A and B are shown apart, each in its own frame.
Chain A
Amino acid sequence: MNATAQTEVIKDSSMLLQKTMIAENYDALTSVQETGKKVSATFVPGNLNELVMCFDMLNNLPEINAINNGMRKKSGMMVMQAEKMGHSEDVCTYVKADIGSMSRGNLAPNGKPMPPPDLLLLSYTGCFTFMKWFELLRHEYGCETAMLHVPYEGDGVVTKNMRDYVVKQIKENLIPTLEKVSGVKFDIDRLRENLRNSARAEDDFVWVLESAKNKPSPIDAYFGGVYYIGPIFTAFRGTEKAVDYYKALRKEIEQRIAEGKGPITPEGDMQDERYRLVVEGPPNWTNFREFWKMFYEDGAVVVASTYTKVGGVYDLGFRHDPDNPIETLADYCLGCYTNRNLSQRVDMLEKYVNEYQADGLLINSIKSCNSFSAGQLLMMQEVEKRTGKPGAFIETDLVDPRYFSAANVKNRLESYFQMIEQKRHGARSAA
């Protein structure tokens, strides 16, 4: 489309490391015929990677595949392919990109075909589309499906009953199914070891996220954040590799703080932090860099985002706990951002605006996301009321390029930035 021709993209070493890790997982997935490994497909929120690894299985995340295809400008054709097959324009575009990709050979970024899953591990954490998505995949692959039903935090609390219910399902349904599919016996000590790694990585990850409280922020917690969440939200949580990655990332950010640097952008370090924003909603992937540029070229840094919590809300205190291995998995799923109700989300956003000293809240509402777009305007108005900081609302889509209207998004963002500026300086401002 209208991608700007940029000769060289500047990346930090952590970003390159992250890229290598994700590529390694694709290589592992596309060579199961040689290695004989079994594949489990699952979603980012409610991802039970520590458990899956206990059975020597690989983790394939269809959302990540869709994002990859979106960023590589391949999702548009896939979405249209799915529509040709009869899926409506309003269906989640992650789903359509996945289905469209399957009918186009389902190639991984390394050009090799993705393996069919041996297990569809549906950890249901608030997004009802997940269920329908896997129903479609089950129809396609006819493989074993295990559903972990995680009760929604409708009242904003997790009761003992809810937790017991999830624990019971993991013990009585999930683990036996994983054993059956993989042929590997469950070893709880292996799980404990994985969880221990998770917790270590999570500590460093939270440190990195909270580094945005510095002024200037050394990170962009949304656009940069999607790189930082990569390993821990996907097939690496619970691995030594993830521990090492977050250690290295933390060092890198410590260095940035020491040097008084702002966040990395594709065009180098951001020089002048003018606006600090909290963002709700996923980024647009098809025009990711163009979207990012609209922020950094105006000096806007995202200091906190809810999207970087969809794979686990670690900054509010949760850590995977090796001493209570099954219970901790239940707590993890119950506490996912996607499983939280509107008032919990508002509380989080309010906390972020205050604690990260943000200038306001921006909502990027997703056109094809029926689960999470509902209620977002109310959330914005409530956060505005509580914090006294201005909010703004834009709409794009996940991986359907037809719903990214650059001129409109830019117009709204510029208006928002200028509005913040104007509010800062009062009526006599020329800004």
Chain B
Amino acid sequence: MKCFIGIDLGSTTTKAVMMDSNGGILGRGITNSRSNYDTASKVSKLEAVVSARLELCSRALNEVPEMKGKVDELLAALERNFRLELFLNQLDDLKQTCLHNAADLRHAEIGKELAAALDETFERMKNKLSGLFAPGVERKSDFFRDLAGSVYMNQAEEVAEEAGLPFDVLINIYDKSIIETENRPPAEDLIATFLRALERIMDDEGDDLPVDPQIIRDQVRNALEIELEETYVVGTGYGRVRLPFPKEHIRSEILCHGLGAHLMYPNTRTVLDIGGQDTKGIQVDEKGIVVNFQMNDRCAAGCGRYLGYIADEMNIGLHELGPIAMKATKTIRINSTCTVFAGAELRDRLAMGEKRSDILAGLHRAIVLRAISIISRSGGVTSEFTFTGGVAKNEAAVRELKILIKENYGDVTINIDPESIYTGALGAAEFARRAVEA
């Protein structure tokens, strides 16, 4: 079948959306941009293909009447097992890379001990991490680097202590190896991996299925065998120039975000996108065509990275910021528009005994205030308003935004899609589709 792909190479994450000829979304994929847009582009596309395969499997399984109401559960299991397979493969790749680098480094005198320590570390990691893909487990991140990193640090520290080896050597080996590993997209046969994952489910739950497992096998296999033809790809985002295709296949992310938001909410007239290093205020018309836009200039204070920096300063995860800020009982005022100075203000307020949650609420407000100023420069909010980008996933930022939009523009509809991070890629995919189908 014809597939149209949009890739949004952002400063933090790279997103891909795969669309069919009718504009239906087949799949979405995301990965960290890792300063290597070539790989990020490949991996996000691969993720979108995985997600498209699952969508096709879902469509196929829904054709089986007995499976009614059971498809989602089965697919969730299929995806978990598939991800586990991929993850274990990548973990093994990381292990081999670490072993190789350990032998390569200047540690000849402890070479054997290092290899043994790495073996032990990875064995423990595997045990710890396999549970990550069990049903109902929430993962803090979907990126291999994030999942593997913290567990490696803990396990390697323990192993190093037990073996009397220098921990920093193990860290150095890891740092070097993780970059190599994540820049190697999984090269294996996806379909075979899916089938292996399916067999795991069949082994575990085959007897509980409402139909003959062979029917399921056939439906899934058929879905996996549908050829996904890469008909047209459009790229957008900061890494767009790195994409290996001609200029006609590249669109500005402003246009892509405008169109993407329009596709999700056709009545949208104003789009706010807060990404890693950009905040964009975009005005679109009734067809999703951009009529005006404003962006932050010269300084990225108040963008997604600001939150990343603050999370680092407070030694907590990026995903934890919003929930902590939601617990605030008051909002501490943060004046500085400079990210680094805001960090200093944060420490100052902490030293003065203010609560972490209250300070974080203030920081979220500071971000949104900057965004509101950009929106007003682009022409304000007159009608339906859509908030997109990574920061739209942060509930505290959303809360502040809702308050400030109401204060400034009254009661307007505010749309926030759970998949809003894909808005740019969605617009790009639609541009790709229109290039061929329109």
Q: Is A316 an interface residue (CB 8 A)?
A: no
Is A407 a contact of B290 with CB atoms below 8 Å? no
Residue from A394, A395, A411, A427 within 8 A of B289 (CB atoms): A427
Is B298 on the interface with A (CB-CB < 8 A)?
yes
Binds A, one of B177-185, B249-257, B349-357: B249-257
Q: Could you say which residues of chain A place their CB within 8 Å of the CB of B289? A: 419, 422-423, 426-427
Please classify how large the interface on chain A is, using the bins under 10, 10 to 19, 20 to 34, 35 or more: 20 to 34
Among A390, A395, A426, point to the contact of B292 (Cβ < 8 A): A390
Whether A173 sits at the interface, judged by CB under 8 Å, is no
Contact of A415 among B254, B297, B434, B438 (CB under 8 A): B254
Look across to chain A and name the residue whose beta carbon is closest to the beta carbon of B255: A418
How many residue pairs link A and B with beta carbons under 8 A? The number is 61
The chain B residue with its CB closest to the CB of A419 is: B290
Contact present for A426 and B253 (CB under 8 Å): no
Q: Which residue of B lies closest to A410 (CB)?
A: B241
1/0 contact string of A90-123 vs chain B (CB within 8 Å): 0000000000000000000000000000000000
Interface residues of A in 392-429 (CB under 8 A from B): 392-395, 403, 405, 407-408, 411-412, 414-415, 418-419, 422-423, 426-429
List residues of chain A with CB within 8 A of the CB of B292.
384, 390-391
Cross-chain contact of B291 among A377, A405, A411, A423 (Cβ < 8 A) = A423
B377 interface residue per 8 A CB criterion: yes
Interface residue? A354 (CB, 8 A): no
- Does B431 sit within 8 A of A, measured CB to CB? yes
Contact across chains for A415 and B255 when beta carbons are under 8 A apart? yes
A16 within 8 A of B: no
- Asked if B298 and A415 sit within 8 Å, CB to CB, the answer is no
Decide if A430 is an interface residue (CB 8 Å cutoff).
Answer: yes
Asked if B291 and A390 sit within 8 Å, CB to CB, the answer is yes
- Residue contact A418 to B291, C-beta cutoff 8 Å: no
**Which residues B226-258 have CB closer than 8 A to chain A?**
238, 251-255
Residues of A within 8 A of B152 (CB): none
Contact of B288 with A415 in the complex, beta carbons under 8 Å? no
Q: How far is the CA of A347 from the CA of B434 in the complex (A)?
A: 39
Residues of A within 8 A of B253 (CB): 411, 415
Determine whether B360 belongs to the interface, using a CB cutoff of 8 Å to chain A.
no
Residue B87 lies at the interface, judged by CB distance under 8 Å to chain A? no
13 intermolecular pairs with C-beta atoms under 8 Å apart: A384-B292, A392-B293, A394-B297, A395-B298, A405-B298, A407-B238, A414-B252, A418-B251, A419-B255, A419-B291, A419-B293, A422-B255, A429-B434
Q: Which 6 A-B pairs have the closest CB atoms?
A: A427-B287, A415-B252, A415-B254, A430-B435, A395-B297, A430-B434
Q: A411-B295, A415-B253 are in contact. List 18 more A-B contacts (CB 8 A).
A: A381-B379, A384-B292, A394-B297, A403-B298, A407-B238, A411-B252, A414-B252, A415-B252, A415-B290, A418-B251, A418-B252, A418-B254, A419-B252, A419-B255, A419-B293, A428-B434, A428-B438, A429-B434
